[in-house]
């Protein structure tokens, strides 16, 4: 049952990200994973290719703000996709960010090979980072 296997993969990956468990992430991701970060005006917009680049990208998100929290609201799976619906909270100085995100992952042979991140209200994210500069 591929959907069930992808649900297990999704949960393992979320737990690993939440605990900064790099070893587990490297086992769940393809060596040539591509992470597409969207959201105009953010410091990390663009494509991040390979495990090292993706890990660096994720680390820089947390390092760029005083407080960062991502709450998982739902996981949806199919035979070759995982969709995470989450809520992000962040603070930098007197600015706060409250934003829902969708992460869509493509799965091949039991590994995450590609991820797209999409803020559901891109203008909110853009405004948060515009006032940072």
Backbone angles phi, psi at 103, to 5 degrees: -115, 125
98-114 average pLDDT score: 97
**Mean pLDDT (whole number) for 2-14:** 90
Buried b / exposed e over 10-39, threshold 16 CB at 10 Å, is: beebbebbeeeeeeebbebbbeebbbebeb
Confidence of residue 129 (pLDDT cuts 50, 70, 90): confident
Label residue 30 by pLDDT band (50, 70, 90).
Answer: very high
CA angle at residue 32 from 28 to 35, to 5 degrees? 80
Instruction: Decide: residue 108, CB within 10 A, 0-12 exposed, 13-18 middle, 19+ buried.
Output: exposed
Domain ranges of the chain: 2-130
Q: Is the pTM of this model over 0.75?
A: yes
Give the model confidence (pLDDT) of 50-91 as tens digits: 999 999 998 888 888 899 999 999 999 999 999 999 999 999
Architecture of domain 2-130: Roll (3.10)
């Amino acid at each position: 049952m591929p959907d069930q296997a992808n649900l297990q993969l999704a949960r393992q990956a979320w737990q690993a990200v939440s605990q900064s468990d790099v070893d587990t992430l490297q086992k769940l991701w393809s060596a040539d994973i591509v992470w597409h970060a969207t959201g105009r005006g953010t410091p990390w917009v663009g494509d991040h290719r390979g495990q090292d680049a993706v890990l660096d990208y994720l680390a820089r998100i947390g390092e760029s703000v005083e407080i960062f929290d991502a709450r998982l609201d739902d996981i949806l799976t199919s035979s070759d996709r995982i969709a995470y619906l989450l809520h992000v909270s962040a603070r930098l100085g007197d600015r706060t960010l409250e934003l829902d995100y969708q992460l869509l992952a493509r799965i091949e042979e039991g590994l995450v090979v590609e991820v797209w991140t999409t803020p559901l209200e891109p203008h909110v994210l853009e405004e948060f980072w515009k006032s940072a500069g």
